[in-house]
Amino acid sequence: MRVAVISDIHANLPALEATAEAIGRESPDEIWCLGDLVGYGAQPNECCAWARANARECLVGNHDLGVLGTLELDDFAGDAAVAARWTRTVLAADAHAYLSALGPSGLAHGVGLYHGSPRDPVWEYVLSWEAARDAIHDSGTEVTLVGHSHIPLAIPDGDQAAGGHAPGGTEIDLAGGRWLLNPGSVGQPRDGDRDAAWLLLDLGARTADFRRTAYDVAGAQEAIHATGLPDALAERLAHGV
């Protein structure tokens, strides 16, 4: 079983399309998405439609819930709240229905899936070894997948000195231990690399390959500018922050 794992698309259609093309060349058995299809970017309906058609498993993220009105936008930073309010005005009924049917956590083929963490699937950021250790133990699965932070990570249980940031090209042997993995963000990477991040997970061979895919950043920026969303949301895409 080979799975392409994506997360945090954030309505960035050029990034999603480029990632989908790269995933297609690998011919995985399934695609899993760890949430935040919308927010920040300019094309939420198209991203929701793609996920509905292609993702075997899909979670809802905090930005999705903010757009749906499940979370108060007072909990979001300034530009994030502005983008969520704008997204509410353009989100199509079918996209709204799709997001409303999703949960923030799941289990697929023995793998724990969480947008944030097992302890708090919506809001908790797993960025430290201690948080990863707790998430692995709370999940109770050999492999725990999280999104939300936009940082690709590979952290093993039991070895504080091992693992951490997983840049593109990182290959992890998952045999003989329990791991927390974060594929990073397709639509808004925040690790200093502007290329879309995703993960190819082979459950049979027990390997994880972290991938990066270049996309039309200028096109994504132009789409954001055309909506009147804050310029900062476009500018950050060029720097991966």
Evaluate if pTM is beyond 0.85.
yes
| CA separation for the pair 97, 135 (Å, rounded) | 30
Query: Tens of pLDDT along 53-85?
Result: 999 999 999 999 999 999 999 989 899 999 999
Instruction: Give pLDDT, residue 146.
Output: 98
First to last CA, the chain: 33
Instruction: Give pLDDT, residue 159.
Output: 73
Instruction: Give pLDDT, residue 162.
Output: 76
Token pair recorded at residue 89: 């005005």
Q: Is 90 exposed, middle or buried (0-12, 13-18, 19+ CB in 10 A)?
A: middle
Give yes or no for residue 177 having a pLDDT over 80: yes
What domain range is 163 assigned to?
2-238
Instruction: Give pLDDT, residue 10.
Output: 98
Number of domains observed in the structure of the chain: 1
CATH of the domain at 146: 3.60.21.10
Instruction: Give pLDDT, residue 229.
Output: 97
Would you place residue 52 in the very low, low, confident or very high pLDDT band (cuts 50, 70, 90)? very high
Give yes or no for residue 161 having a pLDDT over 70: no
Mean pLDDT across the chain: 96
Share of the chain above pLDDT 70, in %: 100
Instruction: Give pLDDT, residue 163.
Output: 84
